[in-house]
Amino acid sequence: MKNNWVKSTLAISIAAFFNAPAFAQTNDGQTNAQGASQKNEEAKVEKITVHGMHRAYQGAFEYKEVPAAAQDIDLGLIGDAGAINLNDALDLSASVARQNNFGGLWNSFAIRGFSGDENLPSGFLVNGFNAGRGFGGPRDLAGIDHVEVLKGPKAALFGRGEPGGAVNLVTKRPQFVSGGEVKATYGSWDQMRIEADVQTVAGAKEDVGVRLVGFYEDAESFRDTVETEKLGFYPSVTWEFSEDTRITYELEYTNQKIPFDRGVIAVDGKLGIQPIETFVGDPSGDRITTDVVGHQLEISHELNDDWNLLIGAGLRDTTFEGNALETNFAGRQTLFIDPDQTLLSRFKRYRDFETDYVVLRGEIAGEFDTGSISHRVIIGGDYDKFENDQVILRYRPSYFSGDTDINDLDLSQYLVVDILNPDYSPVADVELSDNLNRLETQEAWGMYIQDQVNITDKFQVRFGGRIDKFEQEIQNRLSDPVAITSQDDTQFSPQLGAVYLLDDSISFYATYGEGFRQLTGSDYAGNPFEPNQSESTEVGVKTDLTSFFNNVRGDITLSIFNIDQSNILVFDSSDEASDGFFLTPGGEARSRGVELDVNAEFSNGISLWVSYAYIDAESTNDAADANFVASIEAGDPLINVPENQLSVQVGKSLTVSDMPVRLGTGLLYVDERLGQTATDFYLPSYTTVRAFAQIEPVENLVVRAEVDNLFDKEHYTNSFADVWVEPGAPRRFRVSASYRF
């Protein structure tokens, strides 16, 4: 760890964890998967606070009043799907498509076709704080209460981001009960995982709630020699300072050791020649270590019955360090084929990344009337500073012409591996040279306001806007002297929405918004890029199933959207940039589509989740690809975005011989999608099926068995190019036991 104070904080928190009193699990909004045992748990609850926590940037609105679509992936659904990481949870939303995940080292996804900067993790939020900008490794779901997919333009409140929407992770916070749960899991490829969730009440007035969540996982993989080790600890404390004031502090610590795995290659554009089990990296040296230390503090104060004040601060540091052998692209003799062997040439990189992110925010929300018209208002401001320090060293083999006889080459200097019969002996010791040494600092101030006006009992209009002033400085430390470039700009992001409540069960809505995102890097002259710009429109209808059926809870949302984006980074082919490989924000794209979301729970114990999306995402101008300088033509699809995607999850609770039982199955269909920009290389469509069964043989003990990819379908989840393709896992089994006490 880079800071001694971090070690001290963790030591104190771990000591508290092992000395915390035992208690009963609270289930945090799960569906009725545990049957009658939940009623027993409810009887054990000593205290349930009724103090409501205001949610940053979102206000107090019923779902049918919000002029945008959203999905709430709660603990019950996460449990039924067997999701233990963010990628698995987001597979439940058809609006979200997996993107190139940097060798398995971060979360990367597109919402409604747009994914953001391919060289940075996707920017998800944690309790409204931007937490996906650093290099902390893929996010585990331990400590997460539910995952929100907030679709549509959000820049008017959240600020900088992608036009398709935002993913917000809501953490498990103290609930002022005493209880706990431990869970142990064993799965295919020697996956061993243990989780704990403990909380208690402290203080003479029982006004302090403490919750301690943690996990440890050690697992091999269907990929030969690939093994991961992960540890996470997420304590939180809430102090009810008074009847009107609540203070919450949360710590996030995660350490992961993960091999850098670029996946498989497509030989002559064909997948399946290289076995999906074959790892083409270096097991003895390709090991990336990531660390995350994050802090969040929130103070919520009810000024009166109508107004609430929220103040928050966040601090998040990440580190990413290690070596990787990576596949060369075609221009560097990726593949040598002769009658006896299939050899892959590779290059080596060492990375040392560190990010520091701090954010401060304040917000007041409430309601008032002007005559017969009522207003619900959110007014706030925030400040954030993001420092991104990157050092890369690289060794790349020399180029040779295509007619060179490979027998005349020293193949050890090309770091070759046979993709059909790999030899994992240590590779040649090669000398690394400077490739990148850069510090980028982004600093921004924002102010926002939103007013949702009840024009009549049925018709509401939402006005919103946000002003952002940002500064960006880039230090290129490879230059002598160090080259420093900077820019500053001010952006306004408006939003307009309307909702018509036909009755208690059906509402129609429409919304329009604009947004922007700062781009990382600089142009041929060393100047930072102009921000990415977007415009979004959406219309839809929402139906509350409870109003239609007495035995059903839930809702159905049908939405139609159109998004235009400009200032996308592409290759700069201008005369001024002809002396090197430079980028320019000259690309344009559009995404439009239709989504259908169903979330229903029936009184007979059946739950149903359906998410379908049709997305047509394409470039709208001619340009040159930012990575390979291939020609992009207007109408070309965007990478890794399927036209059709469907996710279904069905569960059923029942009782067998007085024993609670839950059964379920799920399905994921992903259409074919472009696998490399500006080419005709596509990843094939696939359908995977999962199933689970769980029983509670004795009170508080739940035993579960599950299988993913039930029919052992070979599939590929995402790619960056035809030489960097991530294969999906074959059939996988897991068994687990959890005990509440």
pLDDT in tens, 711-726: 999 999 999 999 999 9
What average pLDDT score do residues 138-165 get? 86
Radius of gyration, CA atoms only, the chain: 26
657 pairs with which residues across the strands? none
User: Looking at the predicted structure, is the pLDDT value of residue 32 above 60?
Assistant: no
Assigned token pair, 616: 């047509």
What average pLDDT score do residues 642-666 get? 97
Q: How many domains does the chain have?
A: 1
Residue 40 lies in a domain: no
What average pLDDT score do residues 330-340 get? 69
pLDDT digits (tens, 9 = 90+) for 462-502: 999 999 999 999 999 999 899 998 989 899 999 999 999 99
Q: DSSP strand E in 119-277: where? A: 125-126, 129-130, 144-151, 165-171, 179-187, 191-202, 208-219, 228-239, 245-258
Task: Write the DSSP symbol of residue 195.
Answer: E
Burial 708-721 (b: 16+ CB within 10 A, else e): bbbeeeebbbbbbb
Task: Write the DSSP symbol of residue 527.
Answer: P
CA distance 674 to 630: 14
Residue 326 lies in a domain: yes
User: Looking at the predicted structure, is the pLDDT value of residue 11 above 60?
Assistant: no
Top-confidence residue, 4 or 309: 309
CA distance 528 to 567: 13
What average pLDDT score do residues 176-189 get? 97
CATH of the domain at 581: 2.40.170.20
Residue 31 lies in a domain: no
286 pairs with which residues across the strands? none
CA distance 443 to 387: 9
Return all residues near 535 (Cβ < 8 A) that are at least 6 apart: 163, 512, 513, 514, 563, 564
Assigned token pair, 319: 């580190």
CA distance 368 to 379: 13
Assigned token pair, 705: 């068995």
What average pLDDT score do residues 26-40 get? 38
Top-confidence residue, 400 or 384: 384
Nearest to residue 93, comparing CAs of 511, 545, 559?
A: 559
449 pairs with which residues across the strands? 379, 465
User: Looking at the predicted structure, is the pLDDT value of residue 5 above 60?
Assistant: no
pLDDT of res. 615: 98
| pLDDT band at residue 610 under the 50/70/90 scheme | very high
374 pairs with which residues across the strands? 369, 454
Least confident interval from 42-56, 157-171, 545-559, 629-643: 42-56
Residue 174 lies in a domain: yes
What is the share, in percent, of the chain residues with pLDDT greater than 70?
A: 91
Q: According to the per-residue pLDDT averaged within each range, which of 22-26, 76-80, 148-152 is highest?
A: 76-80
Nearest to residue 112, comparing CAs of 559, 448, 444?
A: 559
Top-confidence residue, 400 or 584: 584
What average pLDDT score do residues 521-550 get? 89
Q: What is each CA distance from 691 to 79, 652, 669, 727, 734, in whole angstroms? A: 12, 12, 15, 21, 11
> What burial class does residue 371 get, using C-beta atoms within 10 Å of its C-beta: 0-12 exposed, 13-18 middle, 19+ buried?
exposed
Instruction: Tell me which amino acid residue 620 is.
Output: T
pLDDT of res. 331: 67
Q: What is the mean pLDDT of the chain?
A: 89
pTM of the model: 0.91
Can you give the residue range of the structural domain that contains 541? 69-740
Top-confidence residue, 107 or 123: 107
Coil, strand or helix at 164 = coil
How many other C-beta atoms can be found within 10 angstroms of the C-beta atom of residue 698? 11
Least confident interval from 221-225, 476-480, 519-523: 519-523
Residue 30 lies in a domain: no
707 pairs with which residues across the strands? 691, 733
pLDDT digits (tens, 9 = 90+) for 422-450: 989 888 889 999 999 999 999 999 999 99
pLDDT of res. 333: 65
Assigned token pair, 558: 């049908």
Count of residues in the chain? 741
How many other C-beta atoms can be found within 10 angstroms of the C-beta atom of residue 183? 18
- Whether the CA torsion 8, 13, 15, 16 is positive or negative: it is positive
CA distance 353 to 391: 6
CA distance 520 to 687: 36
What average pLDDT score do residues 663-682 get? 97
Return all residues near 114 (Cβ < 8 A) that are at least 6 apart: 162, 163, 164, 534, 563, 565, 589, 591, 617, 638
CB 649 within 8 A of CB 601: no
Assigned token pair, 179: 């209880």
Residue 8 lies in a domain: no
Chain centre distance of CA 731: 24
> What burial class does residue 495 get, using C-beta atoms within 10 Å of its C-beta: 0-12 exposed, 13-18 middle, 19+ buried?
buried
Angle (CA) 544-548-552 rounded to 5° is 75
Residue 21 lies in a domain: no
Residue 3 lies in a domain: no
| pLDDT band at residue 663 under the 50/70/90 scheme | very high
